[in-house]
Amino acid sequence: MSNYFNLVPDFDYISRLPNAKISDYIRVKNLFKRVTLREDIFQSLTVFTKYSIKGDDRPDNVAQKLYKDPSLDWVILLANNITHIPTEWPMPQNDFDRFLLDKYNDDYDKIYNGIHHYETVEVKDSNDVTIVPAGLEVSSDFTQSYYDYFISGMVTASDITRPVTNYQYEEKLENKKREIFILKAEYLSIIEDDIADIMPYKKGSTEFVDETLKKAENIRLYQ
């Protein structure tokens, strides 16, 4: 994401390092200056396309595939409001395996055979109308009674749950992260225009040096 951080302005903080002089500063990136997509863009689905992350692809891999520029990985993250890659982006398979072993204390039987919860299977009446959708989290002995107009009588559906193992549960959570939205390439200029407006510092603050730099006031110099 080096290209993104090149766009972020700097801030000179007073150095607190052990051997620093009272007049020393440390230059850092001002991470409080963060670009977000405008609300009107988020609400317009025509500027986005759905995408499914493949395998162990990182944001820069996706940016290379779709924009021919890996340094635009931050656009991928921005479009999906992802701020913490380790928890909001699909883990590489090796990391996912380690995560499972850590979470379930190296117990393979618990990972692959342990029951996390039960879910419904789809139930339809005689007229092919869905009574119980699939995937609802329920107790193992869940049943559903309903009136079936085709047979003019009450029906109780039983044996309509299935177990979900810990592995299936964790894998489903990971797979949900794979479904993202991609800003269409022809709209990248909108982001560039927003950055040009948002990132530069504006005059009016005593900390202002120029459009790319602010400097904290060092009160120690006056003490």
**Mean pLDDT of successive 10-residue segments in the chain (223 residues)?**
70 83 82 69 76 97 95 91 94 97 97 98 95 97 95 94 98 97 89 77 81 72 46
Residue 156: strand, helix, or coil: strand
Delimit the domains of the chain by residue range: 2-91+178-222, 97-172
Would you state the pLDDT for residue 1?
Answer: 45
- Angle of the 166-178 helix axis to the 93-103 helix axis, nearest 10: 140
Taking the C-alpha atoms of residue 134 and residue 161, their distance in angstroms, rounded to an integer, is 9
User: How does pLDDT run across 105-133, given as a tens digit for each residue?
Assistant: 999 999 999 999 999 999 999 999 999 99
Q: What is the pTM of this model?
A: 0.74
Based on the number of CB atoms within 10 Å of its own CB, is 90 exposed (0-12), middle (13-18) or buried (19 or more)?
A: buried
